[in-house]
Amino acid sequence: MNETEIHLSVEELAAYHAGTLPGSEEARVQDHLMGCAECTRTLLDLDALRNGVDPADEAPKAEKDAFWESLRPQLAATPPAPLPFPTRRTAPDRPERRLRIFQLLAATLAAAVVGLALQNVALRRTVGDLSQPDLGAPVRDLSATSNREASTLPVVTLAPEGRFFTLILSPADPRGFQEYEVVLERAAGGEVWRGRGLHKNAVGTFSLTFARRLAGPGDYTLRLLGIEGARREPVGTFSFRVEAPGRPG
């Protein structure tokens, strides 16, 4: 054999010996053996090992015992072999665990899909409702007052199916600010909504439209703040009541 040629691996020879190589590979191995005495020797040794020893050539028991006695102390000095076939022992657990994780993921994903679908339906319905004109939506002028008696509160009366109402704010303070902020609070306490970016209209008032969904029946206080740079100053406080007669059955 050419000295530079690479020898066949033990695995290749073992597969050839067992007859498990495909035809083209078998021919390649055979061709190599023709010119490589070393690989042929290895194949013959493997064959001898696999086919067992002729009983006449079997080493005597005493020789084997002596060999074992010489080997044994070295085994003790050798790091103990790890448990054989660790993957075999753990292999059955892994697919099950993987399966559980996949099942969990699939369930979570399914729940998320269903949730998103429901939310989508609800949003479509809301958008559909809001897209409809609100006929006869009330408009109420409010002037800034303080300590107004509950009995004298201006009232916004919503139609049974009314969804919006509009407030016109007329502050007494004549100062002008860059922009304005509105804070809507329940009279009993608790902020309902806060918005910034409000500007005076051409006639010096402010108009705001609220949804019934945000500000349902009840007493409210609306504070108007003027903003100039980092400065924030109260411009007026408006109190009102929202009333809604019962919806027709």
Partner 1 sequence: MHPPTARSTAERSQIVRQILAEMHSGSAKEEHFRRLVKLYYTPVYQVFAKRGFPPDDCLDLTQETFLGIYTGIGSFRHEADFDTWLFKIAMNAFRKRLRWRSADKRRGEEVSIEGTEEDDGATPLPLTSAEPVPAEAALQRERSRVLREALGKLPDQMRKCMTLRVEQDLKYREIAVALRVSPETVKAHLFQARRRLQEMLGPYFRDSLPDGDEEGT
Which residues bind to partner 1, rule: CB under 8 A? 10-11, 14, 16-19, 26, 30, 33-34, 37, 40-55, 57-59, 63-64, 67-68, 70-72, 74-75, 78-88
User: Which of 17, 163 has the CB closer to partner 1?
Assistant: 17
User: Which of 30, 103 has the CB closer to partner 1?
Assistant: 30
Smallest separation, CB 93 to partner 1 (Å): 17
Smallest separation, CB 36 to partner 1 (Å): 9
Cα gap 213→163, rounded to integer Å = 7
Other CB atoms within 10 Å distance of the CB of residue 89: 10
Residue 221: closest CA among 185, 193, 196 = 185
User: Which of 32, 212 has the CB closer to partner 1?
Assistant: 32
Beta pairing class for 155-157 and 191-198: unpaired
Q: Which two tokens stand for residue 118?
A: 């429901």
Residue 8: closest CA among 33, 27, 23 = 33
Smallest separation, CB 111 to partner 1 (Å): 41
Cα gap 92→158, rounded to integer Å = 68
User: Which of 70, 147 has the CB closer to partner 1?
Assistant: 70
Task: Report which residue type is found at 136.
Answer: G
Smallest separation, CB 57 to partner 1 (Å): 7
Smallest separation, CB 85 to partner 1 (Å): 6
Cα gap 193→214, rounded to integer Å = 8
User: Which of 19, 160 has the CB closer to partner 1?
Assistant: 19
Residue 221: closest CA among 169, 158, 161 = 169
